[in-house]
Amino acid sequence: MPLLDVSDILDDPDFNQAITVTRSVKDVDERGETTIKQTEMLTYGVVAPITANELYRLPDAERLSGGCTVYCRFPLFTGQNNYTADRITANGSQYVVISVDDWESFGQGFVAAKCALLDMRDN
């Protein structure tokens, strides 16, 4: 287990930024139609560009035209149960969460999420 706690750095307002997380939950109404409810939440995290090596190592040999890694204390979802993958808005761009790693060893509650840049025409 690492002995380095990076909470002070990742929580520092000089280092992190405000990000918006859009979470969507699917439900079925009384007529049997699927409805999607979206909730936007503001949180703080460190957003870093995805590296060239990471572009080719993602699941299913997926190739990205852009992406980022988000380090934050907010529990991000890749899509589970009735939830779709979280969307993150940072630096004027929208991303979708494709993987989440537990970074609890580097600071209580931290996750590192790999995110793919959404094509703005799909929004």
> 81: domain CATH number?
2.40.10.270
Rounded CA separation 110/7 (Å): 8
pTM, two decimal places: 0.79
Rounded CA separation 25/84 (Å): 6
> Is residue 2, in this structure, part of any structural domain at all?
no
Rounded CA separation 35/43 (Å): 26
> Is residue 89, in this structure, part of any structural domain at all?
yes
Q: How many domains is the chain partitioned into structurally?
A: 1
Rounded CA separation 16/10 (Å): 6
Give the per-residue pLDDT at 32: 87
Rounded CA separation 59/77 (Å): 16
Its domain, for residue 80, covers 7-122
Average pLDDT value for the chain: 83
> Is residue 72, in this structure, part of any structural domain at all?
yes
Give the per-residue pLDDT at 58: 53
